[in-house]
Structure 1
Amino acid sequence: MAHKRKKIAVIGAGFVGSTTAHWAAQKELGDVVVLDVNEGAAIGKALDLAQASAIEMFDTNIKGTNKYEDIADSDVVIITAGMPRKPGMSRDELVGINAKIVKDVCEGVKKHAPNSYVIVVCNPMDVMAVYAKQILGFPRERVIGMGGCLDSARFRTFIAEELGVSVKDVNGIVIGNHGDAMMPLVRHANVSGIPLTELLPADKIAAIVARTKQAGAEIGGHLKTGSAYYAPSRGAVEMAEAILKDQKRVLPVAVELTGEFGVNEGLMVGVLATVGGKGIEKVHKFELNPAEQEEFKKSVDAVRTLVSALKTVQ
């Protein structure tokens, strides 16, 4: 019997989608299908990426399409389709535009890849993940929001830069929402086990936390016409790899909370979870001190506010 390769569907062939396909193909995680309403963009980028395989030496079949039938039997679906937030656009306005896109995408996924694990990347990520889960009707372990992996990568990058150390030795996680109320866990950040609080003064740490929260806006400000895509796409592929290889990674991801941290109304908020072959295999509960509890509550409130904005546009 022929061995069946894993299959990854990337929805959206913009910068985030095409870079997601690039990371996944290069890592040989499985065959990649890039789907976009603009079929030409999907086919062109898939062809270009396929031709890089002869130099980089990866064996991955890459296909561009605008037909949902082509994502049939995908193991993992990564949703990047959607408008980026333009300067001056409120998150609420973005909710209305992207909700329509996510609805169409999820109906296609539900029909053609009903057993897939779905990773939501498009913004505003937390509320789009909530909406995707509603449309898909999948269990909570199979719909995951990508925010924490990206925000944590930014947090670790800034710590490494400030200390002049390898990013490989920096541990730092960000939970909460993927927005201004995100929550870098300073108390748990360390470099090879040495607490960050022993390595940097409070004002330097506060500056890193503030920069982490605004990292996306900082990049957008420089780019002027777009938003970040290398690190967001890599965060999504980190999650996909954990699922496809059953790695049991403990990652900061947005998952529907069912009572953990006192949240149980169907909101998806970034927490630490074991991500493996069954998707979200366990949500890790740990003690938050009173200041952290207060901060986490703000994160949850931010998600709740966006979800109520979603209800008005539906």
Structure 2
Amino acid sequence: MSVVEVIQSIDQNYVRSRIPRVAIVGTGLVGSTTAYALLLSKTPAEIVLINRDKRRADGHVQDLRDAEVFSHTTRVVAGHFDDCCSADVIIITVGVSQSGQRSRLESLNETAAILKNLVLKVARCNPHGILLIASNPVDVLTYAAWKWSGLPPNRVIGSGTSLDTSRFRRRLAEHYGVASDNVHAYVIGEHGESQVPVTSSARIAGMSLENFCRELGLPHDEDMLRKIANDTRATGLEIIRAKGATYYGIGTALARITGAILRDEHAVLTVSSLVPESMGLGEVSLSLPTIITRDGVARVVSIPLDVSERHALEASAETLKQYIAALKT
């Protein structure tokens, strides 16, 4: 082992021996809600809120510290961008607001210009940190962040369809009358219009949906499953049109992903990351069931798909690749 490798190893071991640090860049609705969700999850960490308007970050910190006494394991501070250099996880939430009048892919280049500058700065000073992208369109920007940063693909993750998967499971649970944590089903592909809710390999109590219905004497209604899938796809825009933005769900999803990283959980989550060549989808970032560890992406899992789901996933990948090709920065 060379001297440089020894020093890098020592640096990495030091980073892992101290209290983990999570830097949240952008303290709008999503960033501040993510900090609150992390606080409630009692994830042992120091949360650093970073915002161009320092006064806003300070205000959030004062408010969050009133909740800090109930957590005991999490500390919240306001910081500067330099704090990203020593962070274990850097969550980028800038530019995530949606108007409800534009798709996630329409505002791509505007958000990309902001994001590129941030990503380049982080990559230069923190080669061991994990980038967690929440900015939309998240799949395209996760891919772009990986290209810009030069970081290994396992260290650049997007929130992806983690929120869509939770919405899908909740709707299935409500329909079948079971607790949502007993439903194992995934939404894959793009976090957006071309997402693919997978019903063919969905399971309740270890049984396919069809077998579960047969066991309980329930009707297996394919039309209802299609409605659940469509409702899942439309939920985000419905919330935006009703109240202007979504933040509770995505903030909690980001906290869940961050906790899985810091606790080295080996949890299976549908995050966006660079798709392995073996998947046959080309060079693109999108969501698939993924094992998340302290090093980020440990493995992307291939789940069984029926013919229509496979075609839909391929179409989703092609849609994202078109927008990647149109990226101007």
TM-score (norm 2): 0.88
Who is 1:74 aligned against?
87
Q: CA deviation at 1:272?
A: 1.6
Identity of aligned residues (%): 28
CA distance in 2: counterparts of 1:89 and 1:204, whole angstroms: 28
- For the 8 Å contact 2:276–2:300, the answer to whether it is kept is no
Q: CA deviation at 1:60?
A: 2.0
Who is 1:243 aligned against?
261
Larger radius of gyration: 2
Counterpart AA for 1:52: A
Q: C-alpha deviations, 1:51-103, integer Å up to 9, x for none?
A: 2122x2423221123x2112231111111111422233344441021101211
Structure 2, unmatched stretches of 5+, are: 1-13, 214-219
Q: C-alpha deviations, 1:22-64, integer Å up to 9, x for none?
A: 122232331000111121111110121012122x242322112
Q: Does 1:169 align with 2:169?
A: no
TM-score (norm 1): 0.92
Q: C-alpha deviations, 1:196-243, integer Å up to 9, x for none?
A: 2343411111110001111111111211x3x21111111122211111
Paired residue for 1:230, among 248, 251, 257?
248
Q: Does 1:204 align with 2:221?
A: no
Counterpart AA for 1:273: T
Who is 1:51 aligned against?
66
Q: How does 1:153-168 map to 2 (within 5 A)?
A: 153-168=166-181
Look up the SS of the partner of 2:171 in the other structure: helix
CA distance in 2: counterparts of 1:23 and 1:83, whole angstroms: 17
Who is 2:302 aligned against?
285
Q: C-alpha deviations, 1:154-197, integer Å up to 9, x for none?
A: 10111122233222222211111111111111012222223223
Counterpart AA for 1:295: A
- For the 8 Å contact 1:260–1:285, the answer to whether it is kept is no
CA distance in 1: counterparts of 2:314 and 2:123, whole angstroms: 32
Counterpart AA for 1:186: T
Look up the SS of the partner of 2:310 in the other structure: helix
CA distance in 2: counterparts of 1:183 and 1:155, whole angstroms: 11
CA distance in 2: counterparts of 1:83 and 1:24, whole angstroms: 19
CA distance in 2: counterparts of 1:296 and 1:23, whole angstroms: 31
Q: Does 1:141 align with 2:161?
A: no
Structure 1, unmatched stretches of 5+, are: none
Paired residue for 1:108, among 114, 117, 121?
121
CA distance in 1: counterparts of 2:255 and 2:96, whole angstroms: 20
**Runs of 4+ displaced beyond 4 Å:** none
CA distance in 1: counterparts of 2:238 and 2:210, whole angstroms: 25
Counterpart AA for 2:286: V
CA distance in 2: counterparts of 1:296 and 1:70, whole angstroms: 38
- For the 8 Å contact 2:68–2:76, the answer to whether it is kept is no
RMSD (Å), alpha carbons: 1.9
Q: Does 1:41 align with 2:61?
A: no
